[in-house]
Amino acid sequence: MRLLMSLPLIALMAGAAAAQSLSVIDYDGPRAGVLADLEAGRLDVDASVDSPVLLGGIRFRAGIGHGRWENEWEHGPPLSLEPRVTRLAGSLLFVRRDGSLTGHFGVGLAAYLPKHVELRAQRGLRLTGGMGYSGERWAIGPELEIDLPHPTRILDARVATRPELLPTFRLGLAVKRVF
């Protein structure tokens, strides 16, 4: 009978003990994030995955983004619509942490894939910089991306010159989740 009466007490104590846990968050671990930029009513989104911090302050980042882009004709009027462009990028980030505040600067390569008939796919350089406040497995803060497409020059004189993407930047709010 005593054993039967003590079972609810044991179950209650076991439940309370199971609810107590200790978790260690490694802010230098891998993370995934989203950068959103709203400019002139147009939403531009860039999703990325970062590697763990290596060698005391370096991360690798892979990203994919989509949004509107400015463009130009080398000889002639600009296109009437700003084309949608998908971006694929890989970057090397240099990270500095000061408590819960983290800053980073990165350089990488990107491919730009316009969804407009008159524009060709281009490759280029990507510069990234930002900072964020970390807490409870999340980091949030401003981030700047600068895309510098390399012009594709057509050497054949019989083919008309095509429009090219202009260098552009996005300043947005980045939200990242540490794993």
Please state the φ and ψ torsions of residue 155, each to the nearest 5 degrees.
Answer: -90, -20
- Plot region of 24 (φ>0 → left; ψ -120 to 50 → alpha; else → beta): beta
More confident site: 179 or 72: 179
Is a pLDDT exceeding 90 seen at residue 124?
Answer: yes
Candidates 2.40.160.20, 3.40.50.880, 1.10.10.10, 2.60.120.10; CATH matching 27-178:
2.40.160.20
Indicate whether this model's pTM tops 0.75.
Answer: yes
Is a pLDDT exceeding 60 seen at residue 154?
Answer: no
Task: Break the chain into its structural domains and give their ranges.
Answer: 27-178
Average pLDDT of the residues of the chain: 81
Interatomic CA distance for residues 177 and 179, integer angstroms: 6
More confident site: 24 or 20: 24
What is residue 133's predicted lDDT score, i.e. its pLDDT?
92
